[in-house]
Chains A and B, each alone.
Chain A
Amino acid sequence: MYSLNVNGVSHSVNVDGSTPLLWVLRDVLGLTGTKYGCGIEVCGACTVLVNGQPEKSCDMDTSEAAGKTIVTIEGLSANRSHPAQQAWIAHQVPQCGYCQSGMIMACAGAMQAGHHGNEILSEMNNICVCGTYARIKDAVQGL
């Protein structure tokens, strides 16, 4: 039994401690906004904030996440009001949208660390197969 603090709510989850956080979020807590892309820490689709830091949840054990503050895309804001979400809408960034939770969480993490504009970009290394990079570049300029 592990206690996870996700989006301000504390959950007790009964899983093997080696279960990746990604799958606890998706299959146990029903928070499906966080995506599976590669499972090997390469694509970034599974990015969430753990104690304010962007982390790839496909490679974080539940036992390691326990007791830390976890924020997923669902908890980033109410009503899509986070500046990154607003910028993503204003620049019509998503295509299929599947990578965008991870992208936005990576962006939000960089912002939380005090970065702006192109500094944010240098922290964003996720894969977008649809190729929305041009619009992400534009979207972060005002952040």
Chain B
Amino acid sequence: MTLPAEILAGARAPAMDRRGFLTLGAKGLVVAFAMPLVGRSAVVHAQAATPPTTQQLANAYVQVGTDGSITLWFGGSEMGQGAMSGLAQILAEELMVDWNQVTVKQAGVDPIVSYLTGGSSAVSRRYGTLRNAAAAARELLIAAAMTKTGDANRDSYAAKSATVMYTNPVSHLVTTWPYSALATLAASQTVPADLRLTDPGKFRLIGQPVPRVDIPSKVDGSAKYGIDTWLPNMVFAAIKHCPVIGGTLASTPSKPSGAVAVVPCKASDTRGAVTAGSVNAVAVVASNTWLAMRLANNLSVSWKLPASTAGVDSAAILAQAQGLMAGGQALCAEPAPPTGTTPASYATQLEPAVKAALGTPTIDATYTLPYLAHATMEVVSCTVNIVFSTAGVAQSCEIWAPTQAAAWVQQTAAGLTGVAPTQITVHTTFLGGGLGRKIEQDYVSQAVQVAMAVKKPVKLTWRREEDFAHDQYRPFALVNVKATLASGRIAAWSYRNVSQAILGQRGWLPPGAVDSQATEGSTGLPYNRGTHIVEWVPLPAGIPVGFWRSVGSSINAFAVESMIDELARAAGADPFQFRYDNMTDDRARAVLWAADILSSSWRNSLPAGHAWGVAIAESFGTWVAQVVDISQPSAGSMKVNRIACVVDCGTVINPDSVQAQMQGGIVHAMNAALWGQMTFTAGKAAQLNFNNYRMMRINDMPQITVQIMQSTNPPSGIGEPGVPPLAPALANAYARLTGTRVRTLPFFAGAGSGSDD
């Protein structure tokens, strides 16, 4: 996703005070580094100087201890993407320390270090900032050494393995100091203008497949996820939502035997604000999680159902979308509406010219994509401990959550408890998968509400069935594309996406504006499309929608790259050649070319019964091309045998993490393309667990080869971009294999668990 800067900045910038530094218990040099929102120049802040202002977007704490420790305070969320390690590599590179000398620690909510983990930005957006911060720390340590020698000539100094070395220019005698011996003195030095950033050609660690710091704890059970939080005297809670989306509690059920309490829970929005008048769930509290879950599941509750469920019913939503596709007012996303026009008026203005240019379209195709659940391996869970005064007033609050948005967790708790944010500590645990689900505050809000009610430490864990039924889903979308060819070139292109507004549902979208989440991946395409228009029609359905790995690109890449393939076929052209012929973007062309070469060894000699397909897409600044080899062992099935994947993500921090994210993105996309689908009947979700929401198993796994483009561009995202091209590549291969063009996902609806047992 690409979020407004204000949101990515962490939403709320609490007043910056010295406490933010002191709470870290720092001894020695702390460099809190802030990057102004505008402008190139860096503001570096040593412990003794003036704190940066709240207007500054800040990203990193680097701490050099007097005890020899080198610490990176990590303000994001580690959900498997390797962010902790990627940032530590950047730090170690510029601070001139060895890989095994760095420790990464999870920071609490802090105006400097905390950031929202989304948009594949965890490492890429912090690259420049952290390099500067680490280099500043190094230069401060060298400045400290200068005060010891009295020689201010920087060329007499070098730094390596957490040691500053000074060579006397006259005697050539060498003196060394470990960083720990300079740390205190360094804190009172001034950062020089020239940070002497390392020449990328001489990087020791950036670009190397160094082992990830979080992996050892993930093979022995010691890694602590949200669901693993354990406090003395804690009670355990499970949730039961109204099974019908939009329903509310009619009357509070009495406490079942064996339960500690039953607590009605109000609904909340993405930023944790309580939705007025909406008690949509009850929590059951018990002495262990299983008991709480069982009691919650068996609890009979009387709900007040919404007057109509048409907005939360798959069949009704499809019909509504079809109506809007034919006659709805579209908003123009591309070309950009000039001043004086609105997206709506500009769409109306442009449509006749595009229609005329299309004439009788060569292809007129409508693609349908389903709602998808996140189904993170770890269900949502949150633990809360509130300290009350003797009068029963909440005084302070501590929260453990697998969250992608720690600052919003703090805000959620402040709103519900009345406790000042400075008295609310948020511990971001490891996330057992995030995928965009754990930006939301619903589960955090519920846990805080329960802790307020029972006045005991409480851990809330959702049953998997609740996790599926009350997600904030990848939107359903209907996309119509019309295109006309002239001499093998695209002469006209009309693209219309009908889907719900993710930002709009959160109140983050001005009226009449285009939701960037809905259109990403459909604008700025690498193809010359002649006379063209890209439109979006908002679908006013009531299914809660949210950010799902790669967001709008997961939808639009399927429509765009399927259509490009359909056009290639209509032109009688090779799918690669057709793309080259219509392509205007050199970076895309290079990636496609590499994928062409990488796959050519097998692509042109596939055994009978196999076929290949290709697709390419950009998301979060990263280009990915994938070529798949599929076969059909029996009717109604598909075997994916092999995938060649080429990625250009700019400067590579850790190639092993890039490879892992491509492998993982492909699996995530295969789950979705082959089987993934949430359906709703009269407001009730039909798929409630993995037994009817199939996920790949190891025997479904194709052989994947990942190749990374060498690049000196700034780093771009890797967590999400592996997803978008896969579904269209499969559909393109399937059309080649069977002659049938699949325009509706998933390929195989209604799949079971895929388990043998």
B388 within 8 A of A: no
Knowing A89-B215, A98-B433 are in contact, say whether A121-B698 is a contact too (CB < 8 A): yes
Contact A32 B218 (CB under 8 A): no
Given contacts A35-B432, A134-B701, contact A97 B663 (CB under 8 A): no
List A contacts of B431 (CB < 8 A): 96
Q: How many residues of B contact A (CB 8 A)?
A: 66
A133 sits at the interface (CB 8 A) = yes
Decide yes or no whether A143 CB sits under 8 A from chain B. no
For B417, the chain A residues whose CB sits under 8 A away are none
Chain A residues near B215: list those with CB within 8 A.
Answer: 88-89, 92-94, 97
| Complex alpha-carbon distance, A125 and B377, angstroms | 15
Looking at B212, B215, B217, B376, which has the most chain A CB atoms within 10 Å of its CB?
B215
List, in ascending order, chain A residues with CB within 8 A of B221's CB: 31-34, 72-74, 101
Proximity string of chain B (267-309) to chain A, C-beta cutoff 8 Å, 1 when within and 0 when not: 0000000000000000000001111010000000000000000
For B378, the chain A residues whose CB sits under 8 A away are: 35, 37, 96, 98
Contact with B along A29-66 (1 / 0, CB 8 A): 01111111111111101000000000000000000000
Per-residue CB contact flags for chain B residues 579-595 toward chain A (1 = under 8 Å, else 0) read 00000000000000000
Q: Say yes or no: A36-B704 contact (C-beta < 8 A), given A73-B221, A131-B664.
A: no
Q: Quick check: is B178 within 8 A (CB to CB) of the other chain?
A: no
| A6 part of interface (Cβ distance < 8 Å) | no
Tell me if A98 and B377 are in contact (CB < 8 A): yes
The answer to whether A4 has its CB under 8 Å from any CB of chain B is no
Beta-carbon contact of B698 and A74 below 8 Å: no
Within 8 A of B (CB), among A2-38: 15, 19-20, 22-23, 26-28, 30-38
Given A19-B290, A31-B221, A132 and B433 touching (CB < 8 A)? no
Q: Is the CB of B432 within 8 A of A98?
A: yes
Interface residue tally for chain A (C-beta within 8 Å): 59
Among A19, A85, A132, contact of B664 (Cβ-Cβ < 8 Å): A132
Q: Which of A97, A126, A134 contacts B80 (CB 8 A)?
A: A97
Which residues of B203-233 have CB atoms within 8 Å of chain A's CB atoms?
A: 211-212, 214-225, 227-228, 230
User: Which chain A residues border B665 with CB–CB below 8 Å?
Assistant: 131
Docked-complex contact A97 and B666, CB < 8 angstroms: no
B756 at interface by CB-CB < 8 Å: yes
For B752, give the chain A residue with the smallest CB separation. Answer: A42
Contact B690 A127 (CB under 8 A): yes
- Answer yes or no: A70 CB below 8 A from chain B CBs: no
Nearest to A99 among chain B residues (CB) is: B377
User: Nearest Cβ in chain B — how far from A97, in angstroms?
Assistant: 3
Does B523 reach chain A (CB closer than 8 Å)? no
**Is there an interface contact between A32 and B224, defined as CB atoms closer than 8 Å?**
yes
Asked if A133 and B223 sit within 8 Å, CB to CB, the answer is: no
Known: A40-B691, A42-B690. A35 touches B227 (CB 8 A): yes
User: Which residues on A sit within 8 Å (CB–CB) of B379?
Assistant: 36-37
Majority SS at the chain B contact face: loop
Task: List the B residue with the shortest CB-CB distance to A27.
Answer: B288
Given contacts A125-B755, A131-B696, A133-B701, A40 and B689 within 8 Å (CB-CB)? yes
Q: Are A95 and B463 in contact (CB under 8 A)?
A: no
A130 to B190 Cα, complex, angstroms: 45
B660 touches A (CB below 8 Å): yes
Are A95 and B219 neighbours in the complex by a CB distance under 8 Å? no
Query: Given that A23-B288, A36-B227, A42-B691 are known contacts, is A128 also in contact with B211, CB under 8 Å in the complex?
Result: no
- Please give, as numbers and ranges, the residues of chain A lying within 8 Å of B214 by CB-CB distance: 94, 97
**B661, closest chain A residue (CB):** A95
> Does B430 have its Cβ within 8 Å of any Cβ on chain A?
yes
* Residues of the B chain whose Cβ atoms lie less than 8 Å from the Cβ of A134: 663, 701, 703-704
* Across-interface contacts of B671 in A (CB, < 8 A): 129
**Could you tell me if A96 and B220 are in contact, using CB atoms closer than 8 angstroms?**
no
Residues of chain B lying within 8 A (CB to CB) of residue A135 = 660, 663
Decide if A129 touches B698 in the complex (CB within 8 Å): no
Q: How far is the CA of A96 from the CA of B435 in the complex (A)?
A: 11
Q: Which residues of B contact A73 (CB under 8 A)?
A: 220-221
A91-129: CB near B (< 8 Å → 1, else 0) gives 011111111110010000000000000000110111111
In the complex, what distance in Å separates the CA atom of A57 from the CA atom of B230? 20
Per the bound structure, the CA–CA distance linking A42 and B757 in Å amounts to 8
> Separation in Å of the A107 CB from the closest CB of chain B?
11
A129-B220 in contact (CB<8A)? no
CA of A32 to CA of B215 in the docked complex: distance in angstroms?
Answer: 17
Check if B289 sits within 8 Å of A23, measured CB to CB: yes
- In B656-670, the 8 Å CB interface with A consists of 656, 660, 663-668
Asked whether B498 is an interface residue with its Cβ less than 8 Å from the other chain, the reply is no
Inter-chain CA distance A138–B224, complex, in Å, is 26
What's the nearest-Cβ distance from chain A to residue B581, in Å? 34
Across-interface contacts of A121 in B (CB, < 8 A): 698-699
Q: Using Cβ atoms and an 8 Å threshold, which residues of chain B touch A131? A: 663-668, 696
The docked-state distance in angstroms from the alpha carbon of A125 to that of B753 is: 11
For the complex, what is the distance from the CA of A126 to the CA of B377, rounded to whole Å?
A: 11
Residues in B neighbouring A31, C-beta threshold 8 A: 221
Answer yes or no: B375 CB below 8 A from chain A CBs: yes
- Min CB distance B129 to A, Å, is 25
Known: A35-B432, A97-B80, A133-B663. 9 other contacts (CB 8 A): A33-B222, A35-B227, A74-B222, A93-B219, A94-B80, A97-B218, A100-B219, A125-B699, A131-B668
A interface residues (Cβ-Cβ under 8 A, vs B): 15, 19-20, 22-23, 26-28, 30-43, 45, 72-74, 76-77, 80, 85, 88-89, 92-101, 104, 121-122, 124-137
- 5 nearest A-B residue pairs (beta carbon): A33-B221, A131-B667, A98-B432, A97-B218, A95-B80
**Can you identify 23 A-B contacts, CB atoms within 8 angstroms?**
A19-B288, A36-B379, A37-B690, A38-B690, A39-B464, A39-B689, A43-B690, A72-B221, A92-B211, A92-B660, A94-B214, A96-B430, A97-B430, A98-B433, A100-B218, A121-B699, A125-B698, A125-B757, A127-B377, A129-B375, A129-B671, A130-B667, A133-B697
